[in-house]
Amino acid sequence: MKPRLHETDMADPLIELLQGDDHGRYRLDSPAEIAHYLRQLRDRGSFASLYLDGRVIGPPSVLLAVERDGLVIDCDPATTDALSGKSEIAVSTSLDRVRIQFHASRPRRASFRGRPALGVDVPESMLRLQRRDFYRLTTPTQPALHCRLAIDPERRLWLETQILDISVGGVAIMVPPANHPFLVDTLFPSCRVAVPGGTIDAALRIRNLFVVTLPGAGSVLRAGCQFDDLSGTMGNLLQRYILNLERSRRAHGS
């Protein structure tokens, strides 16, 4: 019996850090810190999505045990059969609204208190995405919010792309399929965002690049960017947009 692929809204996105201006902010390499977060996930019973080759395999799982020689994950028999013998799987979960993800090697059949389970090696590193330091909202998907980026100092060449989330500090954008390179610390001299009441215009600097795999929707390249010289007037316009967006969502119960 083959396990079902659960590509639903319940599954956590799979995130891969490509570049970042501060890798230590996102990635843990200390065995003691990794063990701490694993024990927290076990004790809280946090639901996790299991990925193989970028696809969600099986229903949400929980971490049952953290041992020196490996982890034990609660899995149904079909999922365990599908994952056993593979080189590695990815595990995506959250803890106190902090996204946690790691790759685990040598998935294999195991048992926990007499019940079948999945065993994996303890991860050597862990991706941890902290809550943002400033107020941020995911933008509405309909209608999508877009921005125009000037890619030359003279502001003659422009790219247009979709905004994935926004704050008074910056935006996360979907990287368009264009020849212009998107690299950490790239500075766009102008980023223009049309919102009710006016157009926000400020320089924009790339701070990190992630590949985000959305269950059932494929992968997108996401650039986290910071406004470089947002004026007070532009900041007030953006703040009003964010507050109005939040009021609208509360009114519609979303």
**142 vs 145, 146, 163, 195, 205, CA distance in Å?**
8, 11, 12, 14, 26
The answer, yes or no, to whether residue 116 has pLDDT greater than 80, is: yes
The confidence band for 138, taking pLDDT boundaries of 50, 70 and 90, is: low
Q: What is the pLDDT of residue 48?
A: 93
Q: How far apart are the first and last CA of the chain?
A: 38
% of residues, the chain, pLDDT over 90: 53
Give the pTM: 0.68
Mean pLDDT of 67-93: 94
Mean pLDDT of 26-54: 92
Residues 116 and 46 in one domain: yes
* 4 within domain boundaries: no
Contact 118, 110 (CB under 8 A): yes
Residues 123 and 200 in one domain: no
Q: What is the pLDDT of residue 251?
A: 81
Final residue of a domain: which of 106, 129, 152?
Answer: 129
Q: What is the pLDDT of residue 115?
A: 92
The answer, yes or no, to whether residue 207 has pLDDT greater than 70, is: yes
In this structure, what CATH number is given to the domain that contains residue 233? 2.40.10.220
Mean pLDDT of 49-75: 92
- Among 3-7, 95-99, 240-244, the range with the most confident prediction by mean pLDDT is 240-244
* 69: number of Cβ within 10 Å: 7
- For residue 102, give the nearest of 161, 38, 163, 44 by alpha carbon: 38
The confidence band for 225, taking pLDDT boundaries of 50, 70 and 90, is: very high
If you average pLDDT over every residue of the chain, what do you get?
85
Domain of residue 178: give its range: 136-251
* 170: number of Cβ within 10 Å: 24
What confidence tens digit (pLDDT) does each residue in 139-148 have?
665 678 899 9
**Which residues 6+ apart lie within 8 Å of 24 measured at CB?**
none
* 6 within domain boundaries: no
Helix (H, G, I), strand (E, B) or coil at 26: helix
Helix (H, G, I), strand (E, B) or coil at 231: coil
Contact 226, 170 (CB under 8 A): yes
- Cα–Cα distance, 243 to 136 (Å, whole number): 10
